[in-house]
Amino acid sequence: MSRAKAFAFAVLLTATGCAGSRLVPEIVDAPGMRTLPAVGERNVDGDTAWFTLTDGSREKVRFIGVDTPESTTQHEPFGKEAAGYTASILTVGRGVDLEIDLDERDRYGRLLAYVWISPPATGDAAEARAKMLNAMLVEQGYAMVLTIPPNIAYVDLFVALQLEARNAARGLWAVGS
């Protein structure tokens, strides 16, 4: 997704409201965080996956704060690589913790979450960098920052990681160089 397209999309979602009305079951409050234990079921692409929650329900989850190139119906440069990276980290059956921000759902009904591949203790920048899939995608250059308020808990970290990836020409930042 181009930067202009991503910005327009963010403005559209903010203006039209992207929060759904369904609530997420069994949210566990970690220190200053709302997390939901889940198990990876199926990856859709680089920034979306299906999870099974502890109550047995299934949720399609869109990763907050990041946008990977398309690899399903459209094929953008580096989309398959981004999807492959997510699949290598988020294997089927892997337990994760889904951190919920202010808006729980987007306008398509997908759950919005930060995906922790091991349980967060503090949620600080160093821990997020090492254990949060969203941050790892940006740091390795598989995703660009896509901020849609009010879900902005890690925006400063994501912007810093994107700058690092771009300066190091990692991932999609190396395409065409």
- Catalytic residue numbers, as ranges: 62, 70, 110
Q: Give the pair of three-digit tokens for residue 115.
A: 């995906």
For 86, 102, 132, the CA distances from 50, given in Å and listed in that order, are 12, 20, 17
Cβ atoms 69, 77 nearer than 8 A: yes
Cis? peptide before 149, omega within 30° of 0 = no
Distant-in-sequence, close-in-space partners of 150: CB < 8 Å, separation ≥ 6? 101, 102, 103
